[in-house]
């Protein structure tokens, strides 16, 4: 295989293409609309030109449970942010996840140390019923917030389903965050119930959570109850006022959950998006929008079916966790993994693929890079006969990633590389399971999404690079930012730059073949090893260090991935030293998380600023990549850019 001369690395056979869910859905639309949809291009055009018919048919195809008026799919408004999807519809998220009641695996928990626990669909429903009863007894009602500080354990899924079954709102953060970082997020929500764990495992180490969780709980005065999941021990340590999760459920006798149906656009989830200033923003999503988007992505673009077994790496605070657990709605088994992807052996995940008969595997692009550099060739060491589909994301999936997968994992495999975001709980670009896979590209715009690449003047380009925008409305547009009553922040973030279109903030290239290459964020938000981080999350902990005057954190593209570089301006009379560098790293590790650690810390005499004194991170990022800053006219001290060009330290 030579991706330089033949960029198509896989193509579905005619027989395979005919069996895909996306082909069956196209045939449904052909029958309903008396139209011909012979290929993906025709199907995508229909999904944009006939939004109502497309989403109406998808509701039926996905067998979504709820009450709705088929004649009212979309009430259009002057601004797309105010569009109302499925007005009058009432449904429940958990009800759509829990339609099975048999003894097949619903959740399988696997930890890096070999721990394995499974819950059948029947057992999952019982646990949700028990948790629901506990929550209801505490007075939880629609609109209340339940928050989690949890590793990727089954109890996180149970708590989420119990919350949404009552029409309440679920929000969770990942277990690796510090107490301060957790409070920056959860403290904005005035939560009613807090669910956490005694600890988590990673790379052979045990990380206790109890002390940090107790600190978080004490700082949330709105709490009525706090529950601790015993992940490391059957009897987790409890602080005053906390309750053992397992004991609370065991005290209940309920076996069947009930479901409170709410409006399609009622709030159901809050996820956290990193900004460049202030605390992380709390992005509020509805109940129905994510449900129908997940159905589209999993069923059509993922070709997922009932009985499939899905393993996709994710922490509970990432949107991929919501996306993956939604496979329950299809009747698939969700395999939850806790720990390092490469410990105790680099091929640990392929052991799981073989043992658990995984059909749908989702490592990150960064993990694929690790495999390739180590010379891992699991097609020669493991039985991967069950594996049919792979998805990867987090960072850009490179042509080298594609070549590695087809040379060393499996040659007959659908490998997709979607890109979207927490903002929409969906993808803008994706792949077609009945078509071809092109090295280094997402080959298609996602169904129902009128994706455009805009030049500097805001005009769509047929080929070339520009800003990613979406000209169509879609059901999973966020309701707003929590606490932003007039929704002005939502409008300013997504709809002001290009009126009538969603501005996403990704720099994307449209290729001559019609595919898409995502080059990264076009703003200053950091992304390292697939995790997006707001610069303010780095700056705030460092404000306490007396040696530092100012900092600027930027992302550097490096070896097909990305890494954080921290530039520091020292206060007068201070010199940079290895000891100061270690102090900076320790502060970030303790006050934020290991993900916030920079690859390099570089002292500089000055930082570029605009007319009001704000550090211009985008200009720094352009400079270290050898580009002329697009906003150079706004820099008050352009001579400072010389400090960031041709730095030897950034070449290693």
The DSSP annotation for 413-470 comes to -EEE--EEETTTTEEEEE--TTSEEETTSB-EEPTT--EEEE-TTS-B-SSEEEEEEE
Closest listed residue to residue 249, CA positions, set 165, 124, 343, 345: 124
Segment 464-469 shows an average pLDDT of 93
**Final residue of a structural domain among 227, 244, 267:** 267
Which domain CATH number covers 638?
3.30.300.30
**Final residue of a structural domain among 267, 295, 311:** 267
Contact criterion met (CB below 8 Å) for 276 and 524? yes
Which pLDDT value is given to residue 276?
A: 46
Which pLDDT value is given to residue 632?
A: 67
Model confidence pLDDT, tens digit, residues 150-186:
999 999 999 999 999 999 999 999 998 999 989 999 9
The 3-state DSSP class for residue 149 equals strand
Segment 26-50 shows an average pLDDT of 98
Cβ count near 268 (within 10 Å): 28
Model confidence at 222: pLDDT above 80: yes
Return the HEC string of 345-387.
Answer: CCCHHHHHHHHCCCCEEECCHHHHHHHHHHCCCHHHCCCCCCC
What is the chain's length? 652
Which pLDDT value is given to residue 369?
A: 86
* CA pair distance 259, 201, nearest whole angstrom: 34
- Name the CA dihedral angle for 202, 206, 211, 215, rounded to a multiple of 10 degrees: 0
Q: Of residues 211 and 278, which shows the higher confidence score? A: 211
- Residue 474 maps to a domain: no
- Residue 34 maps to a domain: no
* CA pair distance 529, 415, nearest whole angstrom: 20
Neighbouring-strand partners of residue 255: none
- Residue 408 maps to a domain: no
Determine the structural domain holding residue 634 and report its residue range. Answer: 526-651
Model confidence at 598: pLDDT above 60: yes
- Residue 596 maps to a domain: yes
Segment 551-557 shows an average pLDDT of 93
**Considering the entire predicted model, what is its pTM?**
0.87
- Residue 468 maps to a domain: no
Model confidence pLDDT, tens digit, residues 266-315:
999 999 986 545 678 999 999 999 999 999 999 999 999 999 999 999 99
Tell me the longest C-alpha to C-alpha distance in the chain.
Answer: 77
Model confidence at 528: pLDDT above 90: no
Which pLDDT value is given to residue 496?
A: 94
Closest listed residue to residue 259, CA positions, set 62, 106, 96, 63: 96
Which pLDDT value is given to residue 552?
A: 94
Model confidence pLDDT, tens digit, residues 37-47:
999 999 999 99
- Residue 135 maps to a domain: yes
Segment 570-596 shows an average pLDDT of 95
Model confidence pLDDT, tens digit, residues 378-429:
999 999 999 999 999 876 788 989 999 999 999 999 999 999 999 999 999 9
Model confidence pLDDT, tens digit, residues 53-105:
999 999 999 999 999 999 999 999 999 999 999 999 999 999 999 999 999 99
**Final residue of a structural domain among 235, 267, 299:** 267
Which pLDDT value is given to residue 2?
A: 56
Confidence grade of residue 534 (pLDDT, cut at 50, 70, 90): confident
Which pLDDT value is given to residue 616?
A: 87
Q: Mean pLDDT, the chain, as a whole number?
A: 94
Segment 500-508 shows an average pLDDT of 93
- Residue 507 maps to a domain: no
- Residue 619 maps to a domain: yes
**Structural domains in the chain (count):** 2
Residue at token pair 């923003």: 281
User: Beta strands 8-11 and 436-438: pairing type?
Assistant: antiparallel
Model confidence at 611: pLDDT above 60: no
Which domain CATH number covers 221?
3.40.50.980
Confidence grade of residue 262 (pLDDT, cut at 50, 70, 90): very high
């Amino acid at each position: 295989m030579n991706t330089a001369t033949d960029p198509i690395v896989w193509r579905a056979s005619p027989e395979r293409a005919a069996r895909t869910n996306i082909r069956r859905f196209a045939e449904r639309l052909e029958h309903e609309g008396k139209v011909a949809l012979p290929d993906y291009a025709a199907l995508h055009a229909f999904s944009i030109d006939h939004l109502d018919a497309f989403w109406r048919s998808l509701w039926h195809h996905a067998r979504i449970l709820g009450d709705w008026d088929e004649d009212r799919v979309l009430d259009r408004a002057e601004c797309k942010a105010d569009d109302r999807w499925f007005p009058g519809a009432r449904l429940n998220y958990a009800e759509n996840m829990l339609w099975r009641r048999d003894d097949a695996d619903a959740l399988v928990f696997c930890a890096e140390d070999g721990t394995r626990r499974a819950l059948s669909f029947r057992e999952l429903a019982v646990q949700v019923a028990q948790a629901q009863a506990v929550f209801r007894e505490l007075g939880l009602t629609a609109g209340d917030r339940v928050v989690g500080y949890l590793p990727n354990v089954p109890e996180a899924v149970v708590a989420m389903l119990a919350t949404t079954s009552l029409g309440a709102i679920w929000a969770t953060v990942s277990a690796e965050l510090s107490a301060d970082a957790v409070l920056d997020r959860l403290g904005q929500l005035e939560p009613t119930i807090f669910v956490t764990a005694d600890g988590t495992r990673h790379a052979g180490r045990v990380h206790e959570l109890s002390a940090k969780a107790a600190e978080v709980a004490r700082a949330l005065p709105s709490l009525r109850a706090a529950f601790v999941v015993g992940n490391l021990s059957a009897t987790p340590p409890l602080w005053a006022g906390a309750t053992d999760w397992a004991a609370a459920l065991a005290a209940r006798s309920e076996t069947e959950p009930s479901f409170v149906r709410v409006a399609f656009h009622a709030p159901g989830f809050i996820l956290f998006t990193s900004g460049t200033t202030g605390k992380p923003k709390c992005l509020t999503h509805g109940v129905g929008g994510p449900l129908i988007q997940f159905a589209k992505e999993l069923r059509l673009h993922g070709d997922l079916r009932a009985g499939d077994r899905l393993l996709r790496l994710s922490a509970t605070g990432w949107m991929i966790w919501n996306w993956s657990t939604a496979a329950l709605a299809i009747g698939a088994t969700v395999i939850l993994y806790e720990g390092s992807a490469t410990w105790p052996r680099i091929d640990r995940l392929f052991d799981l693929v073989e043992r658990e008969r995984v059909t749908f595997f989702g490592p990150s692009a960064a993990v694929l890079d690790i495999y390739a550099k180590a010379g891992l060739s699991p097609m020669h060491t493991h039985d991967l006969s069950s594996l049919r589909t792979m998805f990867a994301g987090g960072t850009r999936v490179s042509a080298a990633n594609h070549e590695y997968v087809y040379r060393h994992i499996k040659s007959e495999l659908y490998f997709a590389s979607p890109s979207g975001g927490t903002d929409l709980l969906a993808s803008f670009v994706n792949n077609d399971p009945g078509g071809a896979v092109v090295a280094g590209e997402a080959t298609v715009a996602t169904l129902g999404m009128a994706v455009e690449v805009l030049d500097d003047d805001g005009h769509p380009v047929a080929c070339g690079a520009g800003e990613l925008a979406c000209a169509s409305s879609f059901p999973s547009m966020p309701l707003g930012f929590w606490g932003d009553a007039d929704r002005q922040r939502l409008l300013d973030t997504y709809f002001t730059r290009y009126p009538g279109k969603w501005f996403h903030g990704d720099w994307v290239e449209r290729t001559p073949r019609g595919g898409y290459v995502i080059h990264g964020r076009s703003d200053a938000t950091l992304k390292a090893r697939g995790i997006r981080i707001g610069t303010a999350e780095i700056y705030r902990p460092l404000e306490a260090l007396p040696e530092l005057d100012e900092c600027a954190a930027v992302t550097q593209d490096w070896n097909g991935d990305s890494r954080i570089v921290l530039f520091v301006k020292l206060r007068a009379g201070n010199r940079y030293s290895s000891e100061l560098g270690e102090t900076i790293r320790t502060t970030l590790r303790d006050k934020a998380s290991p993900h916030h650690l920079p690859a390099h810390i570089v002292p500089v005499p000055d930082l570029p600023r605009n007319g009001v004194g704000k550090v211009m991170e985008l200009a720094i990022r352009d400079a270290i990549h050898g580009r002329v800053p697009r906003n150079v006219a706004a820099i008050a001290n352009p001579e400072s850019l010389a400090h960031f060009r041709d730095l030897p330290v950034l070449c290693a």
